[in-house]
Structure 1
């Protein structure tokens, strides 16, 4: 088996080959490649499915090179040594908005940034000096006391994108701390059992917040709704709305939603977007299909954001209804959609959410799930590049920490419907690893 293992030279050759293929595509298709300068493009756009997979394989090879160049022990040591400081630095930069302290096309002194953030200058300098090793910001004169701070493309991307800032905040500031006590939660509640505990009050999140030092919340939704005081109360909920908008943007969820169903052939129907946040996808559907009337359902704190963002032209066809999806569904509709909702909950809670629809369901009503393709069964196709798998496994562990939930393979969604009620009949399942999403459609045969 030893001769089949990757070697430094073999990986280097593979990196050269994949890099050539990737850069050739970029050049031939006029796709600008990001650099580290502040005015660089912040992402690759319009990559073909084939070249997207080439890029992911290149990332796998680069990571293997990183591991083997250091060796097994040092690669672990170096990761452990920097992982938490890396995350803490980025979270602190984001929380105190270092991004706007430095002009995109200019520079700022450490004293300027300290004043902007209301932090001690020594603290600012130390945080930035670590961030600079990650190519987040740079110095105009590296190493000199008189050096000023300027943006790189990485810090510039955060300065330009409220969605990217919301993503960092949601993943690091909301979900990060509970993940660090996941080992203790597993020790207390799951060790010696055959399955992960399904009790929400036995999650890593619940354990972290049980002391009340950072607020005594039972689940992350309570945190989002209630954290903060005065005008700041609920700031995390508004941030989460922006995070979800950004996730939909980077995963091109608009296209997935538009292609998930024959909306035009559905006729004049009512669609309920359950947990639909500020209604971004509702507007997309309404814009393309004038036959649809759409009701967005979410918690009360979301309503002001919905009302502020809803274009006036759609007010006659898109409305907002405050609703807790664990409670009986109050609206009779033709189609109910759930986008990245059920993966946040353990199996029995996900089934309970679907079961709550039943009081409003009429025969032939449809339920469409849009879920992240977090895991892939052996029967679902060839192995994906590890860089794609890691997107799913990372989300899977985050869901374990927050909800005792999990990312599910495609077939598991069928089981969730059947656990909710046998009268749900699976009509179609569409799974595409290149879009990272699974679309499951069920029909109510009650």
Structure 2
């Protein structure tokens, strides 16, 4: 009886929130979501329209739960060993690029392009259509693009992201249990599922360094910001900051945005030698007197003195052992009152595990485990990390700007 009540409640949640979403689409003269090749790539819901965004999330979450309930636990336990086999083949052989969006093709034409037999093309493509909505076959043997393959054809970053996830992340996941069995609780980034999947004793970073093509694909995956820069710029008191160091700041996008918004701030961007050379070459002449690039390894003693040291998605790439070393390496340059800002996702507390933000962070936490023996952290773990690094660090706290993905985690040096 309890299950019947829940599934009816879920159906009501889906119905009411679908009405809210549909009204938004109608009022804004937006097309209905579909799987056709000309469909919207994403629903253009403004960040400030919290009601419609919440309705969309409620629909997704309720549909997932309802499907699980009516599937039943025994069937849910069945592992889909072939889930993404067809997608990997399509991407590897570039079948999605074998004909233009708006055109059609055939199994025979795809066979000629790929070198596969017609039989193998047909079985792969039909699996992808049925399981992933890749392509469409409205007439027997006539293949057209779907919304998903149209996106792959028109968005190189999305296509690259899918390739990296399937070719790099998925094999690492299959070896994560082996890594934990071999090296229980290791904090070393070369004792991971990724290392085992690559038959290597090297870390992911070292493996990619030996293969520039793979390294470039991985870097491109993170070239698209997960949130706009104004989430940081609008939600921190920059008026009393005169000097800013972006540690591991790549080509300096954050420092440039900060310098453009706040002319009184001088910025230093630190990263590996080749990276900072590239960053400096991209810098606009008008900012050269306020944005400096400096080669620096954040495990070595910091030489630049500043009001704020900023780390964006650095700490979640390292285990506690190495994060403590990063914090300790700052100490030689720290002046009294200097602030440390760590800008990344935060693991939710138990009472927030059902929130819309929780699942992506939990997934990212496991991804960090299988790739690098690194982790996302809860609020209390940040306090402990600073304490273990040095008692003179004072943890101030963390806040998540409204609509933001990342948290602004802050500590002060009281030495």
Which TM class, normalised by the smaller chain length? 0.7 to 0.9
1:118-160 CA distances to partner (integer Å, 9 max, x unpaired)? 6666544443222212454323544x23x13x22222222222
Pick the aligned partner of 1:219 from 203, 221, 228: 203
Cα distance in 2 between the residues matched to 1:120 and 1:309? 48
Equivalent residues in 2 for 1:165-244, closer than 5 Å: 165-190=159-184, 196-209=185-198, 211=199, 216=200, 218-227=202-211, 234-244=212-222
1:315-357 CA distances to partner (integer Å, 9 max, x unpaired)? 5544433333222224333322111111122112112122222
**Preserved contact between residue 270 and residue 276 of structure 2 (Cα < 8 Å):** no
- Is 1:337 the equivalent of 2:303? no
What displacement does 1:400 show?
Answer: 1.3
What displacement does 1:207 show?
Answer: 3.0
Cα distance in 1 between the residues matched to 2:115 and 2:295? 38
**Preserved contact between residue 431 and residue 439 of structure 1 (Cα < 8 Å):** yes
What displacement does 1:284 show?
Answer: 2.7
Cα distance in 2 between the residues matched to 1:326 and 1:349? 8
Cα distance in 1 between the residues matched to 2:89 and 2:268? 38
**Preserved contact between residue 217 and residue 223 of structure 1 (Cα < 8 Å):** no
Cα distance in 2 between the residues matched to 1:308 and 1:36? 43
**SS in structure 1 at match of 2:83:** helix
Check 1:257–1:5 CA distance in 2 against 1; reply closer, same or farther (3 A cut). farther
Check 1:266–1:108 CA distance in 2 against 1; reply closer, same or farther (3 A cut). farther
Check 1:122–1:295 CA distance in 2 against 1; reply closer, same or farther (3 A cut). farther
Alignment-derived partner of residue 436 in structure 1? 405
What displacement does 1:430 show?
Answer: 0.5
What displacement does 1:439 show?
Answer: 1.0
Alignment-derived partner of residue 419 in structure 1? 388
Alignment-derived partner of residue 392 in structure 1? 361
Alignment-derived partner of residue 356 in structure 1? 329
Pick the aligned partner of 1:104 from 94, 97, 101: 101
- Is 1:262 the equivalent of 2:240? no
Alignment-derived partner of residue 24 in structure 2? 25
Check 1:336–1:5 CA distance in 2 against 1; reply closer, same or farther (3 A cut). farther
Name the TM-score, length of structure 1 as normaliser: 0.82
Equivalent residues in 2 for 1:47-446, closer than 5 Å: 47=47, 48-77=49-78, 80-81=79-80, 84-113=81-110, 123-142=120-139, 144-145=140-141, 147-148=142-143, 150-190=144-184, 196-209=185-198, 211=199, 216=200, 218-227=202-211, 234-246=212-224, 248=225, 251-263=226-238, 265-266=239-240, 269-300=242-273, 302-303=275-276, 306=279, 310=283, 314-373=287-346, 375-378=347-350, 382-385=352-355, 388-431=357-400, 434-446=403-415
**SS in structure 1 at match of 2:84:** helix
Structure 1 unpaired stretches of 5+: 191-195, 228-233
Check 1:337–1:405 CA distance in 2 against 1; reply closer, same or farther (3 A cut). same
Structure 2 unpaired stretches of 5+: none
**Preserved contact between residue 35 and residue 133 of structure 2 (Cα < 8 Å):** no
Cα distance in 1 between the residues matched to 2:93 and 2:283? 30
**Preserved contact between residue 241 and residue 277 of structure 1 (Cα < 8 Å):** no
**SS in structure 2 at match of 1:85:** coil
Q: State the 4+ residue runs in structure 1 displaced beyond 6 angstroms.
A: none
Name the TM-score, length of structure 2 as normaliser: 0.87
Check 1:415–1:14 CA distance in 2 against 1; reply closer, same or farther (3 A cut). same
**SS in structure 2 at match of 1:357:** helix
**SS in structure 2 at match of 1:44:** coil
Alignment-derived partner of residue 43 in structure 1? 42
1:202-231 CA distances to partner (integer Å, 9 max, x unpaired)? 32223333x3xxxx352111123222xxxx
What displacement does 1:259 show?
Answer: 2.3
CA RMSD of aligned residues (A): 3.0
Check 1:365–1:41 CA distance in 2 against 1; reply closer, same or farther (3 A cut). same
Aligned residues: 413
**SS in structure 2 at match of 1:200:** coil
Check 1:178–1:304 CA distance in 2 against 1; reply closer, same or farther (3 A cut). farther
Cα distance in 1 between the residues matched to 2:150 and 2:124? 17
